[in-house]
Amino acid sequence: MRISGYRGLAGIVATLVAAALTAVGCSLAEGGEKTLRMGFVDASGQMVIPAQYVYADNFSEGLAAVRIEGKVGYIDTEGEVAIPPQFEDGGAFSEGLAPVVAMGELGYIDKAGLYVIPAQFKSGGPFSEGLAHVLVDGGYGYIDASGAFVIAPRFSRAQPFREGLAAVRSQGAWGYIDPEGAWVIPPRYDQAGPFLSGQAIVVRDDAQYVIDREGNERPVKRFDEIGPYAEGLAAARQGALWGFVDEHGEVVIPFAYQGARAFSEGLAPVRKGSGWGYVNTEGEVVAPFEYEQTFPFSGGRGRVLMRTTWRGDR
C-alpha cells in the first residue's frame, strides 16, 4: 500500500533515512551518538521544530504528517500533536482532506482525524482542483470529495491535477487529460511532470522538452537536465553543477551547486559540497549548508534532515 503522487519524494526520503539509520545503528543513538532525524526551519533558517522524527512530511494547510512510535499522526506548525498517531501511512492535507492508510487500505480524513471517505482503495494521492487519483482493480481513476468516481479507473499511472490538466499513463506512454477525462495532449511521452505557470517538463526518447497547455514543444537544448518551473524559475543542470533559469532559459542564479530543488515560498533547497541549505530568488544563502537534506518550503516551514543526538522511538 502506498500513497501515490505526493509520496514520490517522501518515499525517497524514507529510504534515505532508513539506510542511514542502518549505517550508524540505532544502538549508537542510545549511547549519545548522532543519527538522522527530520525537523523544520522557518524562513530565516532558524530551527522551529526540533529534528526528532524518523519521517516527517511537508506542512500543508497547517498540518504535517509525522511518524511517532511507529504510527503516523499529524502535528501543527508549533510541533504540537493535532491528530494522534494511529495510521500506517499518511499524506498531506489538501482541500481539507488527507489520504491515510489503515489495515492496508487507503481513505481520506478531515482535520479532526475522522474518515470522510472510508478506507477502500489500493493507493491514492492528494485532492487537487476538486479531484484525487485513486487505484482500484481497474487501474487509476479520479474521485470527488464524496468518494464517487468522476473519471473512470483506466490508467496505469496518474498524477494530481495542476492548472486544469493531469498527467496520466496509458498503453505505456504519458499524456494529459482534462477534468472530464478527455485527452488534451495524447500519450506520447516516456515521462511527464505537472503543469506549473503554464509549462510542464516532459521526456521522450531521452530528450527533455518544455511544453505548453496545447502540447507545443520547446527542446531543452542548453542544459543537461531541467526541473519543473515554480515561481518563474526552474532548477537546471549544466555538467556537474546546478543553477536556476527563467522561463526564457536565461540564467538567474549561476551554476554553482551540486544539487537543487524547486522554489517554494521564495526559497529553494540547494546543495553546496556535501551539505544542503536554502537560497532565495536572488541567490542569497538563507540557511547554511549544514543539513543532510533540505526540502521545499510549505506553510512557512522547511523540512530538513540532519544528524542529531536522539533518544526514543520517533
Cβ distance 51 to 39 under 8 Å? yes
Query: Residues 88-97: what's their mean pLDDT?
Result: 97
Q: In which band, very low, low, confident or very high, does the pLDDT at 33 lie, cut at 50, 70 and 90?
A: low
Distances (CA, A) of 65 to 40, 58, 71, 245: 12, 7, 10, 32
Residue 5's pLDDT is what? 53
Using pLDDT thresholds of 50, 70 and 90, give the confidence band for residue 312.
Answer: low
Domain residue limits, the chain = 128-195
- Residue 10's contacts (CB-CB under 8 Å, 6 or more residues apart) are 3, 55, 57
Among residues 294, 250, 246, the alpha carbon closest in space to that of 272 is found at 294
pLDDT-based confidence at 32, cuts 50/70/90?
Answer: low
- Return the bridge partners of 106, or none: 101, 121
Q: Mean pLDDT, to the nearest integer, of 203-218?
A: 92
Note whether 142 and 133 are within 8 A (CB): yes
Q: How confident is the model at residue 222 (pLDDT cuts 50, 70, 90)?
A: confident
CA dist., res. 90 & res. 293, Å (int): 21
192-217: average pLDDT: 92
